[in-house]
Amino acid sequence: VNGLVVYEGGGSVLPIEIQSMENTSKKLIPTGNLGHSILDSLHLSYSVFLSSDYCKKYTNNFKRSVRIHIPESIIYKDGPSAGLAFFIGIMAEKMTKRISEKIAFTGELTLSGNILRVGGIKEKITAAYIYGIKTVYIPKDNFPDLMNLGNKIKSALKIKLVNHYSDVLKDIWKI
């Protein structure tokens, strides 16, 4: 799954690898050079997933552990805005569904599953465009930030505004 990040040099696409592992527990195993904030976001996303109705209803390998690896991760990619990407990636792995590499996500996840406004939308969406992403999911509260984007970028991407992780699940998998 692709997250979108921003740093002092601009935006970037952050590839996130997620893998289920044979196990009788529901353990989360994060790997990569991760800072405290991104680890908090990972653990929050996993706990929201475990407590969701979607977890109980749509996952057939509920008791497997999940390894989340962020290759190429460095400290500037540390922040809560990857929460939506983590949640959707975990859900996809647990449902054994694929997410297109042409989709990217940004948004801070709350305990109730709401998606909060994040910074750097212009840089993140510009990076998505440069990297060949076709669809981006961003917080609905970031709508005003789209005014700062050029028409060429806006017309080349499907920009989906979401309030809750369930908006993404309904859009991608119709659940």
Write down the catalytic residue from 81, 122, 140, 155: 81
Write down the catalytic residue from 124, 140, 152, 155: 124
Q: Is 109:162 a contact under the CB 8 Å cutoff?
A: no
Q: 26-30 long-range contacts, Cβ below 8 Å, gap at least 24?
A: 26/50, 26/62, 26/63, 26/64, 26/65, 26/66, 27/65, 27/66, 28/65, 28/66, 28/68, 29/65, 29/66, 29/67, 29/68, 30/67, 30/68, 30/69, 30/70
Phi, psi of 121 (to 5 degrees): -60, -45
Q: Is 37:138 a contact under the CB 8 Å cutoff?
A: no
Is 155 part of the annotated catalytic residue set? no
Is 124 part of the annotated catalytic residue set? yes
Active site (catalytic) residues: 81, 124
